Amino acid sequence: MRAQALKGHLDGMLLAALEGGPRHGYAVMEALRAGSGGQFDLPTGTIYPALRRLERAGLVHTRWSEDGGRRRRFYELTPAGRRALELERSAWREFSAAVTALLGPQPWPVTS
């Protein structure tokens, strides 16, 4: 998947990866890779600043927690984060429906 195409939707995908419950940064990355069938290939290091931006915007909150002998920073959706995810989702549905219709193989109506 092209990095440029991913970038505009990174926030929404990060929020979606947290929908099922709290995750730490690397687990978010693994969820995105697994969920996209390996198509999600942004450098792992770049999702950490993005997660911090979401935290600042009040869409996720974080806590440090010991897990498997390692201290990790866990991210969890806030109610505002859930609302933002729903908005991203419906905006994407509309956009992808329009693009699918335009790129589809059916003949275009004659306009002139």
Partner 1 sequence: MSGDGVTGAAEEVLAAYLGEVAARLGGGPAGIRRDILAELGAGLADAADAHRAAGLDPAGAARAAVAEFGRPARVASGFRAELAVARARRTALTLLATGPMVGILWLSAALASHVRTPPWRWAGLPADARLAAHLAVIALVTAIASAVFTVAATGRLTRWLPALCSRTSAVLAAGGTVAIDVTLLTLFAAQAASTPGRLAALPAAIAAAASCTRLALATRATRNCLPRSRS
Contact set with partner 1 (CB under 8 A): 24-27, 29-30, 43-46, 48-50, 52-53, 56-58, 69-73, 80
Q: In sequence order, which residues have a C-beta less than 8 Å from that of residue 66 and are 6 or more positions away?
A: 72
CB of 98 to partner 1, least distance (A): 24
CB of 19 to partner 1, least distance (A): 19
For partner 1, the closer of residues 58 and 93 by Cβ is 58
CB of 91 to partner 1, least distance (A): 14
For partner 1, the closer of residues 49 and 105 by Cβ is 49
Q: Where are the alpha helices (DSSP H) in the chain?
A: 3-7, 10-17, 25-35, 47-56, 79-103
CB of 48 to partner 1, least distance (A): 6
For partner 1, the closer of residues 68 and 109 by Cβ is 68
Tell me the three state secondary structure of residue 41. coil
For partner 1, the closer of residues 37 and 49 by Cβ is 49
Beta-bridged to residue 23, according to DSSP, are 75
* Dist CA 42 CA 10 (whole Å): 10
**Could you report how far apart the first and last alpha carbons of the chain are, in Å?**
38
